[in-house]
Each structure stands twice: as structure tokens, then as C-alpha cells.
Amino acid sequence: MDKITKRVLARNYLVTGYAKKKRNKMRKLLILSVAFLLSIVLCVDNGSSAEKQNRNNQKQTVAPKEVPASEMIQKKTASSYLTVPFDPSIQKIPVPYQGHDIEQVYESFDRRKNAERKDEFETTEQFQRRLTEQAGEPLYGSVTQDSILAFVVSPNSEYNADSQTLTISLSTSAVWKSAQIDNSRLALKIKSGEVIKDKSIGQNAYGARVEIEKTHAKGFELAIHNQSNFETEKVLDENMRRLSERPESAKLPADFFEQIKKTAFVHKIKIASKEARAMKDKLSALILAKPTIPYISYGAILREATFKDPTEFFSQMYYVDVDLFEIWLYNKQTGEILAKIKSK
């Protein structure tokens, strides 16, 4: 073998060896790359599976328990006014609780009343059929004219430490029909409306001028028709009771305080002083009632200003006419029902 041939073979050997080394190196890199990619895929898959499992576990953890339909309705509307009939079968009042909005009830009946006028192009038969259909329709939400309504009020309470008795009362007032008192019904204030105060200059026949203070107030009240079905008492409201305890009250007529006593729904609870002290500020009352004809009514009081008393007062009362169903006394912080005042 000549030198040239040896050199060529040696060169080919070197090239071939180098190529083999390079191919081996590339093969190793390829194997490592594939292994790396597989490990990423497996990690992602495992992570996704773990995440899915965690989500499933979380869903199982927070899955709600089955709640009775009536209780669900009450809870759903606990933070706002009710738009469904009150359910008298509930065992606890949701907290917080607002009941029905008397203003919304009044306005719904008022709209219906305006629609009850017979159109000139409507026959009597068509008119009567329309009234019948309207009577079955909801006032708003699912509240109808036959629903039990619930209104929240704050009762008065007084504790007698000697007899260990907490007396809870709801004072009523007269119902005004236009500008006259209607003694056939009792009014229970539920909601105070806006109060507008204004001033103006008045002048008498002699040209004397005086500044007149004007107050215009309105409120929404229940006009109770069946008050005789419930036990009531004549009581003084808290301000008058305090006045009666002052020495200067001796100068008033003997029957003054008897004349101003108000009719009230009263309930007495035997309770120790410690528990009564803790309960007193947590008391609330739920007035349960059903609308009755004429459904809504209106009254007003006007006290005109005089030169000696330059104050004018105009009060408007918007009544929802009802038959009282029951009165529930409850703890407004816990929702516990303490007592139910029922008809005789």
C-alpha cells in the first residue's frame, strides 16, 4: 500500500469516526429532548388532573344543603322588602328583616283603583269581567289582595322589677277620614314619609306681619278594621307617661291623662331583670294582616297658623285597610319568635 492510499484511508477513518461521534451526540440530544418534552406533558396533565380534582372537592365542600321552599323565599328577600306573600309557617324570622313595604302596597292599590273606572266604550259586562280578572292579578311580585302581609314596627316596652314583668305595647291612633275621625277603625303607623319645613311671611287685617313656620308631613299607616277581635288596653305613650310623673302635672285637670290615653295592643312576659335588660333594645314586632275593602283610604289634618301661634301644620295619612291576622314579637338580632298575639 502506497503512502497516498494510506493517507486517504487514514483521512476516511478520521472522517467516519468524527461522523459517528456526531451522530451519537445528536442521538443523545434527541433522546434527552424527547424525555424532557414527555416530562412536561406528564406534569401538565398531572397538574390539570390535580386542579380538576381540587375543584371537584371544593364543589363538593360548598354544595348547599336542601332548604324548604318557604324558608328559601324568606331568606332570599331578607335583606330587602318582601315581594312574595308572608309565610306564617316559618319558625324563625330571617335577620335582617324588613317585611313588606307599606308604601309600595298603597301605590299598587292606588294604581288599581285608578284603573277601575269604566271606559265610555266599554260595556257593563266587559267592565265587570275586567274587574274580576284584575282582582286575581298580583299587586306586585307575587303579592295579591288576598295575601298575608307583614309589616315591621318597633314596640314600646316597660319593665316592672317588683313583678318581674316586661310589658310590650303597640299604641294606635285615630283614623282620619278626610278631615273627620272614623271611630270604626284603629290606625297603626308603619312608615313616616318625608317632612317638609318652610317659612313664609303672613299679614293680618291690620297690616301686622309675622313669620310663619310651615310643616308638611305624611305617613303610611294600617287602618285596622277588626280591632275588637283582639285584647287592647288604654295606655299613655312614653312621653306622656314621663310628663305624668313630674310634680307640675298636678296643675293639669284631673282627667287630663285619661283623655289622652291611646288604645294599644299589649302583651306581658314574665322574665328576670337581667334577661329583660338584655332583651329590651332587641325587641321588634311583626304585624301580620290581610287587605280588606276599601283596601286604601286617605285622611288629613290641617292646623292653620294664627298671629299668636304662627305655626302651620299639615299632615297627610295614607292608609292600607286591613284585617289583623296576628302580631309576632321577636328578637330582631337573632330572629327568635318570643310570642304571638292572636285574636280572642
Tens of pLDDT, residue by residue over 140-194, are 999 999 999 999 999 999 999 999 999 999 999 999 987 789 989 999 999 987 7
Q: So what's the pLDDT on residue 90?
A: 95
Split at pLDDT 50, 70, 90, the class of 117 is confident
Q: What is the mean pLDDT of residues 125-138?
A: 83
Q: So what's the pLDDT on residue 231?
A: 92
Q: What is the mean pLDDT of residues 18-27?
A: 50
The set of residues, in sequence order, having a beta carbon less than 8 Å from that of 271 and lying 6+ positions away, is: 164, 165, 166, 279
Rounded to whole angstroms, the Cα distance separating 217 from 277 reads 34
pLDDT at position 103 over 50: yes
C-alpha cell at 218: 305624611
Rounded to whole angstroms, the Cα distance separating 124 from 131 reads 11
Split at pLDDT 50, 70, 90, the class of 330 is very high
Better pLDDT: 23 or 4: 23
Give the residue extent of every domain in the chain.
Answer: 1-59, 78-341
pLDDT at position 30 over 80: no
Q: What is the pLDDT of residues 249-268, one digit of tens each?
A: 777 887 777 777 889 999 99
Q: So what's the pLDDT on residue 334?
A: 95
Q: So what's the pLDDT on residue 133?
A: 81
Q: In what order do the strands lie in the sheet with 232-235?
A: 156-160, 165-171, 262-270, 232-235
Q: So what's the pLDDT on residue 322?
A: 98
Q: So what's the pLDDT on residue 163?
A: 94
Better pLDDT: 199 or 143: 143
Q: Are 109 and 320 in contact (CB under 8 A)?
A: yes
Q: Please work out, in degrees rounded to the nearest 5, the angle formed at the alpha carbon of residue 154 by the alpha carbons of 149 and 160.
A: 130
Q: What percent of the chain has pLDDT over 70?
A: 76
Q: So what's the pLDDT on residue 241?
A: 75
CA dihedral 167, 218, 325, 111 (to 10 degrees): -170
Split at pLDDT 50, 70, 90, the class of 86 is very high
